[in-house]
């Protein structure tokens, strides 16, 4: 029988394994679902040892983050040296398939569902193609295999997906190029069937969509979907954009359906900065109102903010942190502007000479494209300003003492403790070690 190993790699060799992490990889569960008649094993490098000597017909490695690319290539190299066939996929490999091919037998560009049958046929013949690329699939045919991972390894083991695709094409984001500009959704009955099959009534779940509600003209369909969730009495977390502030009925139905947390890409409170990254549709004047409306309905806010945008000056750090505290945001993700391959931002910065690395530094330098390091020349502040401000923001929001601020963490976690507590503790731990963390991964 064909035996496939799927790996979710870390950013570097992860010697000290975690007992538990927040989420599994729905992407790899989805890949496994494309091979229902095949023996498939999923390994997460944060929790599992990598078995180089085991017998596998095919090893699949996802590069779902650019910073993972150098280490993923090293894993691929070691498996090939052990005589295994290796296939790479994910957003980074899709953006740079010729680079990825230097380390693997094959590369999947884009989504796997439409090419999976051909991969199995070619594997059986011993004739894998170099590149597999197909049309964006109908999500009706996406059937993840959630039964092949140990749920005890995850704080939130149940992940679901309603949609793919995004029409916005923000300059810093690769979603539109990876999944297309059309917003595609699974039939509601497919998702409720998955919930029934996994006995999800009353459990905590997460949706991994880039925008679970979709664009405003699709809100009626989102409302229909959320109404179908109500009988399950789940508590769920998902990502959506700030335009939901304009539809109180939608927010009411989301809350009734069990929404307890929303990941929102605020990016910045500076209007000019939003325009510079193609996100002027973000309702900056409604940010505070949105936080209020969500909190009023028992929905917590996980906010994402980007530092180093072209109009940013050194006061941007204090202004954005002040906003997060004033509006009671439960979890904050601060990142530095990062030009990822496959984005308009990367193309622009490379063309205008604003990248700090030359072509000869890659692929090793991809490890610094992690949102933590500065990999480009900022416009209105120095690199040192950006580095110092980024570290200050984390310490200011989460605290940086040796003892976790238990009261603050519990206060921020009350709406959805299963999700908020482990993430808040992780970010507090990162904040107190941030100087060492970045020094250990210092720039070449």
What is the mean pLDDT of the segment spanning 34-42? 93
**299-340 residue pLDDT tens:** 999 999 999 999 999 999 999 999 999 999 999 999 999 999
| Domain boundaries along the sequence of the chain | 3-133, 155-440
Least confident span in 106-115, 229-238, 413-422: 413-422
The more confidently predicted of residues 410 and 289 is 289
pLDDT score recorded for residue 15:
62
pLDDT score recorded for residue 140:
87
Least confident span in 60-74, 130-144, 326-340, 356-370: 130-144
In this structure, are residues 185 and 163 in contact, taking their beta carbons and an 8 Å threshold? yes
Top CATH class of 155-440 equals: alpha beta
Surface-to-core class of residue 392, CB atoms within 10 Å of its CB (0-12 exposed, 13-18 middle, 19+ buried): middle
What is the mean pLDDT of the segment spanning 241-263? 98
What is the mean pLDDT of the segment spanning 167-186? 95
- pLDDT at residue 414 tops 90: no
- Which of the four CATH numbers 1.25.40.10, 1.20.1260.10, 3.30.60.50, 3.40.50.280 does domain 3-133 have? 3.40.50.280
Provide the percentage of residues in the chain whose pLDDT is more than 70. 97
End-to-end, the C-alpha distance of the chain in Å comes to 45
Nearest Cα to Cα of residue 377 among 341, 336, 436, 320: 336
Contacts of 4 (CB under 8 A, 6+ apart): 32, 35, 38, 39, 40, 41, 56, 57, 58, 59, 60
pLDDT score recorded for residue 2:
83
Tokens representing 202 are 């009353």
pTM of this structure: 0.93
- pLDDT at residue 444 tops 50: no
pLDDT score recorded for residue 295:
96
């Amino acid at each position: 029988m064909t035996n496939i190993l799927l790996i979710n790699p870390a950013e570097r060799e992860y010697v000290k394994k975690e007992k538990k992490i927040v989420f599994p990889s729905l992407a790899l569960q989805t890949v496994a679902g494309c091979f229902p008649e095949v023996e498939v094993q999923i390994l997460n490098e944060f929790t599992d040892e990598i078995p180089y000597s085991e017998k596998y017909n095919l090893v699949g490695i996802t590069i779902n983050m650019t910073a993972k690319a150098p280490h993923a290539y090293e894993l691929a190299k070691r498996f090939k040296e052990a005589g295994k066939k290796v296939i790479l996929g994910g957003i980074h490999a899709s953006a740079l398939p010729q680079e990825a091919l230097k380390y693997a037998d094959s590369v999947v560009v884009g989504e796997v569902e439409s090419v999976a049958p051909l991969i199995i046929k070619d594997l059986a013949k011993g004739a894998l193609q170099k590149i597999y690329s197909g049309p964006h699939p109908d999500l009706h045919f996406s059937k993840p295999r959630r039964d092949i991972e140990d749920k005890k390894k995850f704080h939130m083991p149940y992940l679901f997906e309603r949609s793919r695709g995004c029409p916005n094409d923000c300059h810093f984001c690769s979603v539109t190029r990876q999944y297309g500009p059309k917003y595609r959704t699974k039939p509601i009955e497919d998702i409720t069937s998955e919930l029934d099959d996994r006995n999800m009534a009353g459990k905590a779940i997460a949706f991994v969509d880039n925008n679970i509600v979709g664009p405003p003209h699709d809100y009626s369909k989102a409302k229909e979907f959320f109404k179908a969730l109500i009988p399950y009495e789940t508590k769920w977390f998902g990502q959506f954009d700030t335009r939901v502030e304009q539809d109180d009925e939608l927010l009411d139905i989301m809350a009734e359906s069990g929404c307890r947390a929303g990941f929102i890409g605020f990016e910045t409170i500076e209007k000019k900065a939003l325009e510079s990254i193609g996100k002027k549709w973000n309702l900056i004047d409604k940010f505070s109102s949105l936080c209020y409306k969500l909190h009023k309905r028992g929905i917590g806010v996980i906010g994402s903010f980007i530092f180093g945008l072209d109009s940013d000056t050194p006061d941007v750090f204090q202004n954005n942190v002040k906003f997060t505290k004033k509006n009671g945001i439960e979890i904050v993700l601060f990142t530095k502007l990062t030009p990822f391959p496959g984005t308009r931002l990367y193309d622009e910065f490379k063309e205008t000479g604003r990248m700090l690395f030359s072509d000869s530094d890659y692929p090793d330098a991809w490890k610094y494209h992690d949102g933590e390091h500065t990999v480009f020349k900022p416009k209105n502040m120095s690199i040192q300003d950006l580095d110092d401000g980024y570290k200050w923001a984390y310490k200011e929001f989460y605290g940086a003492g040796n003892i976790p601020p238990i009261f603050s963490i519990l206060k921020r976690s009350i709406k959805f403790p299963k999700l908020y507590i482990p993430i808040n503790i992780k970010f507090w731990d990162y904040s107190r070690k941030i100087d060492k963390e970045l020094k250990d991964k210092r720039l070449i």
